[in-house]
Amino acid sequence: MSGFVEPPEARYWRGILYLLVSCLGFGIAPSLARIAYEAGSDPATAILMRFTVATMVVTLTLRRLGRPLRLPAGERRQAFGIGLLAAVLSWGYLSAVARIPVSVAALVFYTFPGMVAVAAHLTGQDRLTPLRVGALLAAFCGIALVVGIEPGRTLDPVGLAMALLAAVTCATSILWTSRVLRRVDPLVLNGHAVLAATAASILLVAIAGGPAWPATVTGWLGLAGASLVYAAGFTCLFFAVRLLGPVRVAALGNIEPVIAVSAAVAILGEVVTMRQSAGILVVLAALGALQWREPPARKP
């Protein structure tokens, strides 16, 4: 087994599988969390639950595989930093979901692929062509269509700001994670990250005055479901970033807002207007053009 060299094609499709699971988990979680909110829970409690479950899943997986939870001091500090970013990301996104429709929060949050592309260009990891600059501008026009004010409807500016904070944090986390994963095992890095995120979520709940548990069975199912799918998505994201790289993960992750909006419609009964639908299509098309890459199977 130690002498096996995985073909590039197999590596690519394995990365795609991990990314698909990650997108499904991240896309469905906000709608399930919203069910918990309607039953009396809150973002701080949802964050505590999601990282507690993620810690249990990763710890049990490491134990089953016989991998020690050890990292050199420098990588361990970076893993803790990534975990804190994950906690901020979750707090921003779930707070946005509590204030504005899930579909709107999702589309604002998923501006992060464009952010990754710009950051990769500025750091020399990728080249941002004039076509991609135009696509980036088109993406923000699409966002404007989605979040534009409708007659008789206003959107909470704090909710929009929280979703944008989550997007910036996500872009930073992906770029940072890709650098650290060049040197460490994704699962071990994940283990340290979720421990840091859990510690941060405990502090957040304490500041909020304690956990707010759902008052109904449906609420508990929403809270538990959101935690489980997020744990799966968060764990698989580390493997996807290692196998595909940060820019390609951001590009192919454009399917995630479609999943998030579809979940909001199917689970919560949210209504997407024709203008918002047009905005969604513009965003997805623009981000796809922005992140277009040569077929990865051709790369060594």
- Give pLDDT tens digits for 258-284: 788 788 888 888 777 787 788 878 877
At 67 the pLDDT is 82
Is residue 299 over pLDDT 60?
Answer: no
Domain ranges of the chain: 8-298
Count of C-beta atoms within a 10 Å radius of residue 217:
9
Q: What are 70-90's pLDDT values in tens digits?
A: 888 888 999 999 999 999 999
| Percentage of the chain modeled with pLDDT above 90 | 29
Q: What are 180-218's pLDDT values in tens digits?
A: 887 888 888 888 999 999 999 999 999 989 999 999 999
Listed residue (180, 196, 241, 187) closest to 69, CA to CA? 187
Cα–Cα distance, 241 to 116 (Å, whole number): 13
Count of C-beta atoms within a 10 Å radius of residue 100:
22
At 2 the pLDDT is 46
At 295 the pLDDT is 43
- Whether 116 and 110 have beta carbons less than 8 Å apart is answered as no
Mean per-residue pLDDT, 108-129: 76
- Whether 83 and 260 have beta carbons less than 8 Å apart is answered as no
Phi, psi of 279 (to 5 degrees): -65, -40
Q: What are 140-180's pLDDT values in tens digits?
A: 787 777 665 555 566 788 999 999 999 999 889 888 888 88
Is residue 298 over pLDDT 50?
Answer: no
How far from 129 is each of 110, 117, 167, 259, CA to CA, in Å?
21, 10, 22, 29
Phi, psi of 123 (to 5 degrees): -95, 5
Q: What are 244-257's pLDDT values in tens digits?
A: 877 777 767 767 77
At 30 the pLDDT is 87
For the chain, the straight-line distance linking the first and the last C-alpha, in angstroms and rounded, comes to 21
